[in-house]
Each structure stands twice: as C-alpha cells, then as structure tokens.
Amino acid sequence: MSQDPKPSASVLQGLFYGRVAPPREERAQMTQPTLVIGHYRDPIHPFSDSDMLVRELPHARLVQASSILELRLTPERLTAEIVEFIGECFRPARGSGARRRSGSGAARSGRTRRPSA
C-alpha cells in the first residue's frame, strides 16, 4: 500500500523553507504593479489562488493562460500581455515631470541632450 507523497512534501517544504509568500496583511500594503498569470488546470497553484492574489494586491492584474504550456508552445498572446505590462510599469506618471531614460546613458549621468535643430 503506497501513500500520496504530496502532503509530506508540503510539510517538508514548510519545515525547510518556511513561508513561500508574504502574509495577506503585507500583500495588501504592496504598491508595485503586479502581473499574475494563472490557468485553471494548474495542479500546484489553483486558479482561485491567482484570483485571491489579484484581490489582495492593490495594483495587480490577472491574465488567464490557456494551459501551463501556453507561454512555451504558443507564446505570442502572453508575451504581448507581458510586454504591455512592462511598458506600463516604465511609463512616466502623468504630471510627474519624469523623463524617459535615453539609451545613451545621458539621463544616468545627469546630462540632458537637446534635440538637434
């Protein structure tokens, strides 16, 4: 007679590694934008966990993948979602006076480049 190893593995993970994610109270205070990708047939992370994370993180967005393999086998849709999300993260806030960084490094060194006439 064999026993399912999953519960034992969960206990060992908890003993050796402790909590995997911050508690709910800390998640509610996180202000960084967060992209959560989940799918209904994930055997390890139920889709309900993805939904819960999006509700608990103030600036989270949920994208539903069709399967655990979508990003590997047909990455176009999810990649487009990821690229859009990253673009939004680095877009300057309106009215902040922030400038985009140029690839030349001028913004990092404190110098600004004027456009040539």
d(CA 113, CA 64): 42
d(CA 88, CA 81): 11
d(CA 58, CA 34): 9
pLDDT (tens digit per residue) in 22-49: 889 999 999 999 999 999 888 878 888 8
User: Which tokens go with 72?
Assistant: 């590997």
Successive 10-residue mean pLDDT values, the chain, 117 residues: 73 66 89 94 84 93 94 97 95 65 35 35
Is pTM beyond 0.75 here? Answer: no
Q: How far is CA 24 from the centre of its chain?
A: 17
Give the DSSP letter of residue 103.
Answer: T
User: Which tokens go with 41?
Assistant: 């047939």
